[in-house]
Amino acid sequence: MTAQEIRQSFLDFMAQKGHQVVPSAPMVIKDDPTLMFTNAGMNPWKGIILGNDPIKYPRVADSQKCLRVSGKHNDLEEVGHDTYHHTMFEMLGNWSFGDYFKEGAIDFAWEYIVDVLKIDPKNLYATVFEGSKEEGLGRDDEAAAVWAKHLPADHILNGNKHDNFWEMGDTGPCGPCSEIHVDSRSEEEKAKVPGRELVNKDHPQVIEIWNIVFMQFNRKADGSLEPLAKKVIDTGMGFERLVRTIQGKQSNYDTDVFQPMLAKIGELCNCKYGVEEKTDVAMRVIADHIRTIAFAITDGQLPSNEKAGYVIRRILRRAVRYGYTFLGMREAFLYKLVPQLIADMGVAYPELVKQQAQITPVIKSEEEAFLRTLDKGITLLDKLMADARNAKKTEISGVDVFTLKDTYGFPLDLTELILRENGFTTNEEEYNKALEHQKSMGREANKQDLGDWNVVREGDTEFVGYDELEVETQILRYRQVSQKGKSFYQVVLSKTPFYAEMGGEVGDTGKLSVESLEFRVIDTKRENGLPVHIMTELPENVEATFVAKVDAERRQAISCNHSATHIIHYALRQVLGEHVEQKGSFVSPESLRFDFSHFQKVSPEELRKVEQLANQLIRQDLHLEESRHTPIAKAKEMGAMALFGEKYGDDVRVIKYGPSIELCGGCHVSSTGRIGSVRIIMETSVAAGIRRIEAVTAAKADELYYGAQDMLNGLKTLFNNAPDLMAAIHKFIDENAGLKKQIENFMAEKIERYRDDLIGRAEDFGDIKLVRLTGEHNPEMIRGVMPLLRGKFTDVKFAVVAATQFEGKPTIAVFLSQPLVDEGKNAGAMIKSAAKLIQGGGGGQPWMATAGGRDVNGLNAAMEELVKML
């Protein structure tokens, strides 16, 4: 079976067993503060598992794009070096929400891999949780009994808490799990060491392929476990590992998932897979990372300097670096792999095909920027090594190495390699100290202490904020959170008019009130799909009935900006073309920001057109046509613009103003006229092929206009209310330039007179014409005259030594004509030695030098010293 067929067979099998098959959710997570990327098939189901979202289908199955490069699950360092961990991989999974449990899950898994895929049971091992004294839990005999139906006793192994008790995070749903391991060694090896001894021992041929998690507990903040009301089955099978097993290979990279890509890399980099281990590692790294990079960009996460964007940037750089160091790639090449990736994965993930024009230039420009970094880093490193050599040292400071990595982004292992090759070492202790210091600063900044939820009453939360800004409500639950020394409360309400931050729109603020008491809601966030109100103070009587009220003015400003974002999006597509696609947006009460794909700067004329078209649509006062529950297929048929990489349910909300139709969950004005007007205030680039527009609306647009008007009025006043202001300013500029020129002429004349005056004072000093200058002189004049003297005395020995003062400050200066310099005299050296006498410092060139000082009493001595040296 091909990889493609295997993926399909899993989904078909699960469908036949009554599972609803759903598409993969995006790999990039935008509205969960605890996760940047999907790292397991269960992530998209967190809301249901936690009981926040309703169960729509009790059985679902999918193939989910996962990424394990940060946080709790981080396999990055393994990738490339081993043959079965990837950064991005596909996880095949099936779920039961309160439906079948242990027996059903194990039976399905068995039937699929043994009856359907025909994996030989003698190569299979299952693990069960052995129990844990500290948790007060016994062995998972229930799971073991089910396994005993299928496997002999010596193929059922006990596993410890580390391997066989799965937890989503520090708190939340968790439970024991059973893993299925496959032994794919040769018969000869199996005879020598039985597979059961190699399970969970990091043996590359005895690997875990499927994990079946039985979620039956909820972990509370104090560490204790309580039983879960609705038990959940959560399974995850590594697709690439399964393919390798079915195709009888020893490595994931030997399957048709990776072989075409490895061949392409070989062709581009002029190397061959399977010849040398070092090259193989690099080729595996690249074959793996290109998937992560391309899928991340497709899902809307561009490489950048912070958070999730930085994770992607680091992965891209890791690929470039392996190419650079082990395959000799000095030029950008990753972007050339995109067509191959699309050929391999485009059918299963059509979003990749649609985003090709975006992915390629982003990767290319990132690669080129990093190659420049590498060049710069090597230059810096060369200098560090040269300095060390001069100082007769063989150790480079750990702090310098850290700076190279941290400030310049130069990879540590490359630094180490180059140092080693050149016979240098670095001080690891210093390095670790610098690293630890930085880390602890980061930890402090991010530390968050979550308390347990205090349940006031059971029930579901309902959002009514599209229609109402004020509503009677009750507290369902609350908890205390402390972060950065501050403590606040998260509160969940039975009914809420507060919009929780999502889709780039900031959360609402407002208050809860009961009788004469008021409590501020300072922000509203979404956590696993649940609107959570952030409050600094909690009412004493949490059981009271409150009035929840949104800050209406602020909400109106936000709505104006959000609706204007849609209008601008539409206008951009009209003016620039259909290739314009939303890449990000941020909507606050102050302004709106909209990122979109476009491959060059938007010209001022185009911007003006966009703004004009947008304002026309605003003045048409188009009414909001909102439909909250449109089937997604129908919405797309209507021409609604949807975001790539966004997670949508089956039913979507459609927001329509005349020709602008979008899928959107945000807050909007009832008709476009309420926006008043929109003004674009900035257009910039955010990444290769992506532009950003910032704009203001309504009162802020008025303020912008008033600001400009006030400035204009101010200018008019400055120019005596000239009827033609532009002409007046031009005249002023011209006059100013004329005056400047005149002053320059005067200065030149003055310095020329000064020069002639100096020449007149020259006396014979041996064969030198010498001017000794004392008393009050402007040092500016002395410095200014020297080049003129230089031009005049090209073949006469002429010198000036000055020990003068100006406004109470001493200055010394020396001028030497060229013949004196040729003799070996040096003005700079003379000044250096005489400057001490006036408590000063300075220097210059062999033909002229000056120094300022603090002690005018030293001037005589300085003069003597200068003359003596001359």
Stretch of 203-211, 501-509, 766-774, 819-827 contacting ligand ATP, by CB under 6 A: 203-211
Q: Which of 117, 386, 59 is nearest to 239 (CA)?
A: 117
224: amino acid identity, one letter = S
Q: Which of 68, 364, 668, 692 binds ligand ATP (CB under 6 A)?
A: 68
Could you tell me how many helices (H) and strands (E) the chain has, helices first? 25, 37
CA distance 259 to 240: 12
CA distance 622 to 609: 19
Cβ nearer to ligand ATP, comparing 254 with 400 = 254
Tokens of 574: 């009209």
Tokens of 145: 């009994």
Least distance to ligand ATP, CB of residue 393, Å: 42
159 interacts with ligand ATP by CB under 6 A: no
Cβ nearer to ligand ATP, comparing 210 with 214 = 210
Q: What is the DSSP letter of 650?
A: S
Strand partners, 234: 95, 213
505 interacts with ligand ATP by CB under 6 A: no
HEC assignment per residue over 150-181: HCCHHHEEEECHHHHEEECCCCEEEEEEEEEE
| Residue number with the smallest Cβ distance to ligand ATP | 238
Cβ nearer to ligand ATP, comparing 68 with 598 = 68
349 interacts with ligand ATP by CB under 6 A: no
Rule CB under 6 A: which of 225-244 touch ligand ATP? Answer: 236-238, 240-241
HEC assignment per residue over 457-492: CCCCCEECCCCCCEEEEEEEEEEEEEECCEEEEEEE
Query: Contact 755/788 with Cβ under 8 angstroms?
Result: yes
414: amino acid identity, one letter = L
Torsion sign (Cα): 640, 646, 649, 653: negative
Least distance to ligand ATP, CB of residue 43, Å: 12
Least distance to ligand ATP, CB of residue 683, Å: 41
777 interacts with ligand ATP by CB under 6 A: no
Cβ nearer to ligand ATP, comparing 205 with 627 = 205
Cβ nearer to ligand ATP, comparing 85 with 700 = 85
75 interacts with ligand ATP by CB under 6 A: yes
Least distance to ligand ATP, CB of residue 209, Å: 5
Cβ nearer to ligand ATP, comparing 45 with 210 = 210
Cβ nearer to ligand ATP, comparing 30 with 68 = 68
210 interacts with ligand ATP by CB under 6 A: yes
62 interacts with ligand ATP by CB under 6 A: no
Cβ nearer to ligand ATP, comparing 280 with 367 = 280
Rule CB under 6 A: which of 26-45 touch ligand ATP? Answer: 40
Least distance to ligand ATP, CB of residue 291, Å: 11
Q: Which of 27, 209, 491, 614 binds ligand ATP (CB under 6 A)?
A: 209
Cβ nearer to ligand ATP, comparing 109 with 506 = 109
HEC assignment per residue over 16-54: HCCCEECCCCCCECCCCCCCCECCCCCHHHHHHHCCCCC
Cβ nearer to ligand ATP, comparing 91 with 661 = 91
Residues near ligand ATP (CB under 6 A), total: 16
SS3 content of the chain, % helix, strand, coil (to 5): 45, 25, 30
288 interacts with ligand ATP by CB under 6 A: no
Stretch of 202-210, 221-229, 723-731, 855-863 contacting ligand ATP, by CB under 6 A: 202-210
Q: Which of 503, 504, 559 is nearest to 697 (CA)?
A: 559
Cβ nearer to ligand ATP, comparing 208 with 646 = 208
Cβ nearer to ligand ATP, comparing 85 with 321 = 85
Tokens of 526: 């979404």
Q: Is 867 exposed, middle or buried (0-12, 13-18, 19+ CB in 10 A)?
A: middle
Q: Residue 431: phi, psi to the nearest 5?
A: -60, -50
398 interacts with ligand ATP by CB under 6 A: no
Q: Which of 43, 211, 301, 524 binds ligand ATP (CB under 6 A)?
A: 211
Q: Which of 643, 622, 621 is nearest to 632 (CA)?
A: 643
Binding mask 80-119 for ligand ATP (x = CB under 6 A): -----xx--x-x----------------------------
291 interacts with ligand ATP by CB under 6 A: no
Least distance to ligand ATP, CB of residue 684, Å: 37
CA distance 395 to 423: 9
Name 191's Cβ contacts closer than 8 Å, sequence gap at least 6.
none
Cβ nearer to ligand ATP, comparing 113 with 338 = 113
Binding mask 240-269 for ligand ATP (x = CB under 6 A): xx----------------------------
Alpha helices in 577-675 (DSSP H): 604-619, 632-637
CA 805 distance to own-chain centroid = 58
Least distance to ligand ATP, CB of residue 65, Å: 12
Q: Where along the sequence are the contacts to ligand ATP (CB under 6 A)?
A: 40, 68, 75, 85-86, 89, 91, 208-211, 236-238, 240-241
